[in-house]
Amino acid sequence: MAGIGCDLRLGMSGNGAVPVKNTLQTLARRALEPGAEPFACLTCYDATTARWLARAGVPLLLVGDTASEVILGLPRTIDMPLDVLVALTAAVKRGAPGSVVMADMPFMSYQADDAEGIRNAGRFLREGLADIVKVEVDASFAPLVERMTRAGVPVCAHVGSKPQHVALTSGYAAAGRTAEDANLIVEDAMALEAAGARMILVEAVPPEVGEKVVAATSVPVIGIGAGPACHGQIMVLQDLLGMTDHPPRFVHPVARLGLELKAAGEEWVRRVAGRQIGGAAYSLKPGESEKLDPFSGRLGGSRGRIAKVRSAPDPGQ
């Protein structure tokens, strides 16, 4: 079995025939061409899954703070540890070197201090091998986005519903459902693009709001529950694969892998109970079978060696 680093097929196009190297520039050109088709994005948290998603032709993988819930089993995205997310980001990039890998900067990794935020963003680029970092922000964070950009860090600005604000909203909630709120989201997106954001991600807003963000900006806009007008669409992988019990209302699963995984586990339990584990067994080398210790009660062979070890005097005595 080829190792991940040796698989030359990583980052292939959707039909698996032509090697593709996706970059922020290629995605921007693809997204902003007149009549361009939207591009697919998915969350991802490990190298093996990244390899298969790259082979499927998914050009952008987000290592989201949703790993807090779907990988670590924590109750909220704000519980995501920074160091763990950096390590997961590097794993995804190693699995899909031809994909654009976006790192999600977790709660309190950039909000308290601009300098700390820039240093942590740099960690995602250097240690995490990320191509771009995502921050949940509004227009008041434009100076931070500008400083990150000036430092050489590509930024995706996340507007609309912000899961890291869950403590303020008493749970996950949609955004932009009034004209006033919708206009503020559009203004946020414009201000953050002006500050240097290379992409905009807009979450859980009515389709009209997603459409207005696209019309008001000139960078790729990725939507999650934001209507069909966005240049790219992203989902949490486990939601899309039918592995979560309560996915958001905007998710239409394309598979039921949760049930498939359950069935696979049940089948393994059945095989083990019946001593029918399958596969090919290893075999002794020719002529070795006759040499096996019959364990007839004599202190010979391996049992004799064990007995000798147990009865050896203590060298310290």
Adjacent-strand bridge partners of 80: none
Q: From CA 128, how far away is CA 155, in angstroms rounded? A: 15
- Catalytic residue annotation: 203
Helix (H) / strand (E) element for 42: namely: strand 39-43
Q: What is the DSSP letter of 12?
A: B
C-alpha triplet 198, 53, 213: angle, nearest 5°:
30
Q: From CA 6, how far away is CA 21, in angstroms rounded? A: 16
Strand, coil or helix: what is 62? strand
Q: From CA 179, how far away is CA 157, in angstroms rounded? A: 21
- The Cα diameter of the chain in Å comes to 89
Q: From CA 47, how far away is CA 93, in angstroms rounded? A: 7
Give me 60's structure tokens: 């952008």
- Alpha-carbon torsion, ordered 239, 240, 245, 251, to 10 deg: 80
Residue in 182, 202, 87 with CA at minimum distance from that of residue 137 = 202
Give me 133's structure tokens: 């970092």
Strand, coil or helix: what is 176? coil
Whether 243 contacts 257, CB under 8 Å: yes
Q: What is the DSSP letter of 289?
A: G
Residue in 70, 74, 136 with CA at minimum distance from that of residue 103 = 136
